[in-house]
Chain A
Amino acid sequence: MLSVKNIKKSYAGVAALRGVDIDLDVGLTAIVGDNGAGKSTLMKILSGVVRPDEGEIVIDGSPVTLDSPTRARSLGIESLYQDLALADTLDVASNVFLGRELVKRRLLIHTLDDKAMRRAAAETLKAVGIGIPDVKLPVRQLSGGQRQAVALARAMYFSAQVILLDEPTAALGPKETAAFTRVVREFVERRTTVCMVTHNLPQVMELADRIVVMRAGRVVATMNVSDVTEEQLLGLMVGSAAAV
């Protein structure tokens, strides 16, 4: 269980988050909201890229400081970014292990263990269930869905407890989105906490267990997916409906 309590963040005097409280439990929590609602800032704070001005983050009862992406990762928080944080010219295996390369000791120097990384990457991708012909391919030769799979394989290999997805299917075609949805379901079944920011309301209705609606830097509604319709959700996002 990951909770954020009274998180505030301003950029050059402009408030992006004005005191946000959210509990992320096992299962999929979708965060929806109009542009500028503060969703992406919240995700950046949870992944350790941005530090909040105020507030507290609590994991399983103990407060934590997410002061770097490395720290967030060591606490089991993995992020998939809108712009796919992959290094295009590196191969698939190098990207899965970027920043956490497997090494072996030769004399006094740690050298990259590419063989082990390729094997592990291939196995994990197989488990993710999105086909990639060869883990030695540079990721720029992959399709959007395959690239997404590389990012998911990263999360899966390092057995993430919390997965943050920022507009995960924005760049994907229908077939790829379906494959991606299947993988996300699998994560949820493994009792992972998944938090997804998206504009895609049908996808929210299909995938999410809980929905958090944000508007202008605040949480305006939190509900179970069964308690709300897509129309009501839309109303909440733009602010034309009363809070549920």
Chain B
Amino acid sequence: MTSVRDRVRRGSGSSMTRDLVSASLRGRLPVVLVLVLMIIVFGVTGQGFFTNISFQNITSSTSLFLLIALGETFVMISGGIDISLASNLAFSALTAGILMTKMYHGHGDGALIVIEVAVITIIVGSLIGMINGLIISFLKISPLIVTLGSWGAFFGLAEWLSVKYPIGTLPPASFTFGNDGPVVAWIVWLTIGCVLIFAFVLARTRFGRYIFAIGANREAVVRAGVPVRRFTVYLYVIAGLMAGLAGFISTCDFQTASSETGSSYLLIAIAAVVIGGTPLSGGEGSILGTVVGALIISVLENGFVLLGINTFMQLVAVGAATVLAVYFDQVQGRMRIRAIAMGAQGETSE
């Protein structure tokens, strides 16, 4: 039995990049179209949408939650979820702010301090992720529960930090890193680099393949002899690392931090992953999808600002968009199942 789709797919050549793009875009075309449509609508109705400032705003604001969304994409493709990233980000942001305040005494631009604190903050974020990963992997507790617990714990610790250690003057180099850069801010370039690395790892390495396989059938991967528990820990370490990095960047960007830092990013990050086509059940998804999902949310937010719509409505819109995306995914899934059932019928009647 050869369906039309098979023939089309076989005829589509096999260059690696084309494969990569087509694999990421398979079934995600509607999402890309939504993004294009939104850009057109806001471009026509919102004044100043196609300006340099608007572009800078969109890229910078996307960067912060896209960084968390990248780690979350890995975790969710593996069939897990990490909701502790919000308080991990706040805790890391405060750590960065407090350390830079303590270490910087007003001499020079403090570039070295910024680099040192960046490394420490990333390690702090990774350690939080490691705690999650170890508990999930070795105590076999649901990721939702474990990360809900650590979300609460690190939110509490972040509040304590913010009360105990006020953040003062930060090194000028941190401001430069967070806000300046060629064409777009340095943090945007950093995010682009992370996107490329994540996309490469997911599509081209064994680790990436196991992320999908664990999400599809964990037991199969265990029986295939893959150290699934160790890889699961890695996934949460990576997610934590990205939250740590985002926390550090947020402190540089806003030149301050609080326990509320990034509290709305978790919803937005998960929304980006889900709108980008990664189901909660795992086994599927792509980095490109998440990037498109993140851009949709950013364009939506920016468009709302330009149209003068209340900022509180942005979160409402993001929430609604997420639910809609999942609904359309389910409809697509049902259609696919029907197609398979019909295919199977065709085969037996052969």
Contacts and interface: CB of A to CB of B under 8 A. Distances in A.
Interface string B215-229: 111011111111000
Nearest to A99: B224
A111 B200 CA distance: 9
Interface in A39-55: 47, 49
A89 B284 contact: yes
Contacts of A98: 209, 213, 220-221, 224, 226
A101 B220 CA distance: 15
B340 interface: yes
Contact of B14 (A69, A85, A100, A115): A115
Contacts of A100: 224-225
A49 B206 contact: no
Contacts of B224: 69, 85, 98-100
Contact of A87 (B10, B283, B340, B343): B283
A73 B224 CA distance: 9
A203 interface: no
Given A69-B224, A111-B204, A114-B19, A136 B9 contact: yes
Contact of B209 (A79, A88, A101, A133): A101
A89 B204 CA distance: 16
A122 B325 CA distance: 36
A81 interface: yes
What secondary structure prevails in chain A residues at the interface with B? loop
A57 to B, nearest CB: 17
Interface stretch (A18-26, A137-145, A225-233): A137-145
Interface in B99-119: none
B216 A88 contact: yes
Given A69-B223, A115-B14, A134-B10, A87 B212 contact: yes
19 contacts: A49-B222, A49-B223, A69-B222, A70-B225, A83-B219, A85-B224, A87-B217, A88-B283, A89-B212, A90-B209, A94-B209, A99-B226, A100-B225, A112-B204, A134-B9, A134-B10, A136-B9, A143-B344, A143-B347
